[in-house]
């Protein structure tokens, strides 16, 4: 641009303007993308909230049942812990899909026999210990003190029930469904 072609004053300059098709300061595509992103974030947050409530209520129900078993005599306490594990395994294997509404109903551990998921009720010994280890992501039932809950319910020696309670409580607390 030659100095001779330059405008002499500022009022001779062309004013600022939007590109050809824009109707305002914010374009429609940008508003639509921002709205869709916001709705997607709300949906993800809602799903995470509902899944967290379901997980927490299952944990609470299992921990409450474990706490109720602490007042029993040693033999009944061991049987109650073993039953809790059977019911917990059955419940985890039948975990509800993400989209099923949770509502305000309290979570319950499965109680009755279910022929469709009877594998948890039929397994014994090493197979049962392996299933528990797989469900709870540990080796407590195959290599640790939890073996007594898989195959040692009728042994004469008494296991350390307080240690079993503590470990079962720890495993239930870190439960992932």
**Bigger pLDDT: 41 vs 96:** 41
Helix H or strand E encompassing 72: none
- Helix/strand number for the chain, H first, E second: 6, 0
- The predicted structure's pLDDT at residue 118: 58
More confident residue, 87 or 94: 87
Q: What is the pLDDT of residues 92-133, one digit of tens each?
A: 877 654 433 344 434 455 555 544 455 666 778 888 888 888
Task: Give the mean model confidence (pLDDT) for residues 23-35.
Answer: 78
**Sheet strands (E) in the chain:** none
């Amino acid at each position: 641009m030659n100095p001779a072609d330059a405008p002499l004053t500022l009022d001779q300059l062309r004013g600022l303007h939007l590109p050809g098709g824009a109707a305002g300061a914010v374009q429609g595509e940008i508003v639509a993308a921002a709205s869709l992103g916001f709705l997607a974030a709300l949906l993800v947050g809602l799903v995470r909230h509902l899944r967290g409530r379901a997980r927490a209520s299952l944990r609470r129900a299992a921990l409450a049942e474990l706490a109720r078993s602490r007042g029993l005599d040693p033999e009944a306490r061991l049987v109650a812990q073993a039953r809790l594990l059977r019911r917990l395994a059955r419940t985890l294997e039948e975990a509800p899909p993400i989209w099923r509404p949770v509502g305000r109903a309290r979570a319950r551990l499965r109680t009755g026999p279910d022929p469709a998921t009877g594998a948890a009720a039929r397994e014994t010994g090493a197979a049962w210990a392996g299933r528990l280890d797989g469900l709870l992501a540990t080796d407590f039932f195959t290599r640790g003190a939890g073996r007594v809950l898989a195959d040692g319910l009728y042994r004469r020696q008494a296991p350390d029930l307080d240690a079993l309670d503590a470990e079962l409580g720890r495993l239930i607390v870190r439960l992932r469904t």
